C-alpha cells in the first residue's frame, strides 16, 4: 500500500459505456481500504458527469477528474 496520496489501484474503463463504468468503479473501490485511492481512465465522456454524481451519492471523494483528448482520467478516494 502506498501512502495517503499514492494510488492504490488502477482501473481501465476505456471503451466501456454507461452503466458499466460506474459498476466497475463501485466494485473496485470496495477492494481498497478507507482512504485508499483508485485511479481510472475512460473514453465515455459521460463519466465526466457520472463519476462525480456517483461519488456524491455514495459519499466518496473525487480527487481529480480531467479530460486529456479523448481520454478521461479520474481518481477517487474511498471515504466509506
Partner 1 sequence: MGDSTDGVTLIIISGDMDKVIAAFSIAIGAAASGKETGMFFTFWGLKAIQKGNLTGKSFFGSMMGLMNRGGINRIGPSRFNFWGIGRWMFNQMMKAHKITPLEELRKVAIELGVKLIPCEMSMEVMEIKREDLIDEVSDSCGVATMLELAYRSKVTLFI
Q: Which residues bind partner 1 (CB under 8 A)?
A: 15-20, 22-23, 25-27, 54, 57-58
Please tell me the distance from the alpha carbon of residue 49 to that of residue 65, in angstroms, as a whole number: 10
- The partner residues of 39 in beta bridges, in order of sequence, read 10, 75
Distance of closest approach, residue 21 Cβ to partner 1, in angstroms: 9
69 given a catalytic annotation? no
Q: Which one from 10, 12, 17, 18 is the annotated catalytic residue?
A: 18
Distance of closest approach, residue 3 Cβ to partner 1, in angstroms: 27
Residue with smaller CB distance to partner 1, 7 or 23: 23
Amino acid at each position: 500500500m502506498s501512502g495517503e496520496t499514492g494510488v492504490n489501484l488502477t482501473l481501465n474503463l476505456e471503451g466501456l459505456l454507461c452503466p458499466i463504468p460506474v459498476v466497475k468503479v463501485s466494485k473496485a473501490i470496495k477492494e481498497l481500504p478507507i482512504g485508499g485511492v483508485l485511479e481510472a481512465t475512460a473514453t465515455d465522456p459521460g463519466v465526466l458527469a457520472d463519476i462525480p454524481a456517483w461519488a456524491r451519492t455514495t459519499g466518496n471523494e473525487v480527487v481529480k477528474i480531467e479530460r486529456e483528448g479523448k481520454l478521461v482520467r479520474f481518481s477517487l478516494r474511498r471515504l466509506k
